[in-house]
Chains A and B, each alone.
Chain A
Amino acid sequence: MTETPNLVAFTPERLEKVKEIIARYPEGRQKSALLPVLHVAQEQWGWLSSEVMDYVAGILSIEPVEVYEVATFYTMYHLDPVGKHVIEYCRTGPCCLMGGEDVYGYLKQKLGVEAGQTTADGLFTLKEVECLAACGWGPVFQIREQFYMNLTNDKVDQIIEDLSK
């Protein structure tokens, strides 16, 4: 009998990280690790396919459906493939007062995409998000762990140019 190779697996470093995360919680409460582990999974694969979610369920000894219901609830998990850079643009009130809507319009025009779409070259996915807790420094968007604040059209040009290199 030949074994089916497991196509979905964390890299050894990430697996170590996942084990360390699971160890943070009391005995039998390993499900608490679900959100942080999904973040690690998304870091590796970019998005969460059903295969990835099933794999995470196996690691945490929970049912796959327990992973699906969480992954579909929280907006930070991508359930479809995304581009190299995911731009999370804040569309909420205080940012709009600071000119957020105009800059957003410019950004969409520049990338040629609407919210939820990826540019043809696969570089940028545009995502609308609610308040990023940076209202005093708006308009603002986030790409991975980097905040870009006090945005203007010129700044948008510069950022997109830098990331396109």
Chain B
Amino acid sequence: MAKKILTEHINVPGIETFDVYRKQGGYTAVEKAIKTMTPEEVVEEAKKSGVRGRGGAGFPMGMKWGFLAKPEGVPRYLVCNADESEPGTFKDHHLMKSIPHLLIEGMIISSYALGANKSFIYVRGELMYVIRILEKAIEEAKAQGFLGKNILGSGYDLELVVQPGGGAYICGEETALLESLEGKRGNPRNKPPFPAVKGLYQSPTVVNNVESIANMSWIINNGGDAYAAIGVGRSTGTKLISASGHIQKPGVYEIELGVSVDEFLNSDEYCGGIRKGHYLKALVAGGSSVPILPANLITKTANGEDRLMTYESLSDGGFATGTMLGSGGFIVFDETACIVRNTWNFSRFYHHESCGQCSPCREGTGWMEKVLHRIEHGHGSMHDVDLLVDISKKIEGNTICPLGDAAAWPVASAIRHFRDEFVWHITNPHEATQPGAVYRGEMELA
């Protein structure tokens, strides 16, 4: 069995309560950090661990912490990004509802490391029941002296606030999240200045994903070096993967980074293979925004090496033949899935969620959705395929925040690898408009 850092105790009955969590060794990392370590030493352990941002960007967390400006007399903030809304990704949802104290403990340690006395957990408003669970856990931790004034007699104060969002995917982008937290529309800010210098209330701020922060208890208890010993190369530690689509066992799995895609997809420990009687057609490895890959490129790289679940291996080959680990949203398509319909669906999502601030994204996402709609519904022309590629190129890299890229990549990659299917939809309009009509042409199906 693979090493479990985040989910080892997740199935213990009552683990959502302080008492049971404590009995399983919970909050010992807070005691260790606050009583025996300086904040700098905690930051050092985070750096040694090599843990990378688990929200999708994959930037080393300890290094990000190192950028935090520390002007005298100005408060600093830690904000936890729990606005998980990327289609295919539901790991933070699972973690927070099942073992809320793991996040709270990580928030205390991280806030202590950064010198923050008020920290926020920004949760998407759709998960109101999760917000209640977190609020209850915070009350429990406070009653036990792990939050509030003078934590464990150390003189360190921390107040933890759970903030509900209002239903906007864009608020998962860190600067949009900060705008939202200030009570405004979630319009991303231009960078620089980066949040580490001017973030929440124009004060130095660190924004980290739920899963990244939840790793801190284990890192403090076991040391950053022990964490870095798990995984492969710069992909250290474990990662939660949200598996959905046409597989035997959808769900959230914790893997050691470095397990092969083939093993993750087919072993009983994880997804249990493709639905019975079907075979793999395509796969999105890291949430809806990352490039989709056909079956022949997902388990092996273009060079024929085994594809591993690491940041590096999944992106091997760049966007021509590779993809990204992203947020770990593992969406599996068997041969019954219509790539055109799915691409239109994702495109509709990004159009709906664009904040509208940058013209290429505001106009481009809507345009792509429109073109994909007409292809899927039997009214496309051959020119439309190249048009889609052209629009995606004009969005990519031309917006303030990465939502533009996120909207462009699924479309560009679907056409890169499944152009025949788009063409088939256009040349067989009557068949294409039949519900469930799927191109089964000469694609390389494993």
Contact A93 B88 (CB under 8 A): yes
Write out the residue numbers on chain A whose beta carbons fall within 8 Å of the beta carbon of B129.
145-147
**In the complex, how many residues of chain B place their beta carbon closer than 8 angstroms to a beta carbon of chain A?**
57
Pick the contact of A97 from B168, B185, B331 — CB < 8 Å? Answer: B331
- The answer to whether B112 has its CB under 8 Å from any CB of chain A is no
Contacts of A34 in B (CB 8 A): 183
User: Cβ of A131: which chain B residues have Cβ within 8 Å of it?
Assistant: 85-88, 169, 288, 349
The digit string for A64-83, where 1 denotes a CB below 8 A from any CB of B, is: 00100110011111000000
Q: Does B182 make an interface contact (CB < 8 A)?
A: yes
Q: Is B144 an interface residue (CB 8 A)?
A: no
**Measured CA separation A147–B127 after assembly (Å):** 9
Chain B residues closer than 8 Å to A110, beta-carbon distance: none
CB-based nearest B residue for A24: B161
- Asked if A108 is at the interface (CB within 8 A of a chain B CB), the reply is no
Chain A: minimal CB distance from B211 (Å): 13
- Chain B, 365-377, contact with A by CB distance < 8 Å: what is the 0/1 string? 0000000000000
User: In the complex the two chains form, is B245's CB within 8 Å of A97's CB?
Assistant: yes
**How far is A77 from B86 in the complex, measured between Cα atoms in Å?**
20
Give Cα A66 to B252, complex, Å.
Answer: 39
**By the criterion CB–CB under 8 Å, are B243 and A136 in contact?**
yes
When the two chains form their complex, are residues B84 and A133 in contact, meaning their CB atoms are under 8 A apart?
yes
Closest to B171 in A: A74
What chain B residues lie within 8 Å of A147 (beta carbons)? 129
Query: In whole angstroms, what is the CA distance A35 to B355 when docked?
Result: 17
A144: min CB distance to chain B, Å: 8
Give A77 to B329 CA distance when docked, in angstroms.
28
Q: Which of B309-357 contact A (CB under 8 A)?
A: 329, 331, 333, 337, 341-342, 345-346, 348-349, 352-353, 355
Closest chain A CB from B280 CB (angstroms): 13
Closest CB in chain B relative to A100 CB, distance in Å: 10
A75 to B185, CA, bound (A): 11
A114 to chain B, nearest CB (A): 16
* B183 & A142 in contact (Cβ 8 Å cutoff): no
Please determine whether A138 and B244 come into contact, CB atoms closer than 8 angstroms: yes
A29:B182 contact, CB within 8 angstroms: yes
* Separation of A145 and B87 alpha carbons in the complex (Å): 20
With both chains docked as a complex, state the minimum distance between the C-beta of B95 and any C-beta of chain A, in angstroms: 11
At the interface, yes or no: A158 with Cβ under 8 Å from chain B? no
Contact of A35 among B84, B87, B183, B331 (CB under 8 A): B183
Of the candidates A31, A38, A135, which one forms a contact with B329 in the assembled complex, judged by CB atoms under 8 Å apart?
Answer: A135
Cβ B167 vs Cβ A97 within 8 A: no
Using known A-B contacts A70-B185, A73-B186, A93-B331, determine if residue A134 contacts B93 with beta carbons closer than 8 Å. yes
Query: For window 95-149 of chain A, which residues contact chain B by CB distance below 8 Å?
Result: 96-98, 129-138, 142, 144-147
User: Which residue of the partner chain A has the closest CB to B184?
Assistant: A70
Contact A136:B337 (CB < 8 A) given known A29-B182, A76-B167: no
Q: How far is the CA of A97 from the CA of B330 in the complex (A)?
A: 13
Whether B189 is near chain A, meaning CB under 8 Å from some CB there, is no
Give the chain A neighbours of B288 by CB distance below 8 A. 92-93, 131
Q: In the complex, what's the smallest C-beta–C-beta distance from B134 to chain A, in angstroms?
A: 13
Q: Judge whether B128 is part of the interface by a CB distance below 8 angstroms.
A: yes
A145 to B135, CA, bound (A): 15
B10 to chain A, nearest CB (A): 15
Complex interface: chain B residues within 8 A of A77 (CB): 166-167
Within 8 A of A (CB), among B344-403: 345-346, 348-349, 352-353, 355
- B88 near A94 (CB under 8 angstroms)? yes
CB pair A130–B352 under 8 Å, yes or no, is yes
Instruction: Tell whether, in the assembled complex, residue A97 and residue B126 are in contact, meaning their CB atoms are under 8 Å apart.
Output: no
Q: Is the C-beta of B231 less than 8 angstroms from some C-beta in chain A?
A: no
- Taking each of A26, A74, A131, which has the highest tally of chain B beta carbons within 10 Å of its own beta carbon? A131
Cβ–Cβ < 8 Å partners of B86 in chain A: 131
With an 8 A cutoff between CB atoms, is A164 at the interface?
A: no
Asked if A32 and B182 make an inter-chain contact with CB atoms under 8 angstroms apart, the answer reads yes
* A58 contact set on B, CB distance < 8 A: none
B residues 156-182 touching A (CB-CB < 8 Å): 159, 161, 163-169, 180-182
Chosen A-B contacts, 26 in total, with CB atoms closer than 8 Å, are: A24-B159, A29-B182, A31-B184, A32-B163, A32-B182, A35-B164, A35-B166, A35-B183, A70-B183, A70-B184, A74-B168, A75-B167, A77-B167, A92-B346, A93-B87, A93-B331, A93-B345, A97-B245, A131-B87, A133-B84, A133-B89, A135-B88, A135-B90, A135-B250, A136-B252, A137-B90
Given A92-B346, A93-B331, A97-B244, list of 15 further CB < 8 A pairs? A35-B125, A35-B163, A36-B164, A39-B128, A70-B166, A74-B167, A91-B345, A97-B331, A97-B333, A129-B126, A129-B167, A130-B85, A131-B85, A138-B244, A145-B128
A interface residues, Cβ below 8 angstroms from B: 24-26, 29, 31-36, 38-39, 60, 62, 66, 69-70, 73-77, 88, 91-94, 96-98, 129-138, 142, 144-147
Please name the 9 residue pairs, one residue from A and one from B, whose CB atoms are nearest each other, closest first: A74-B166, A76-B167, A136-B250, A34-B183, A31-B183, A135-B244, A75-B167, A73-B185, A145-B129
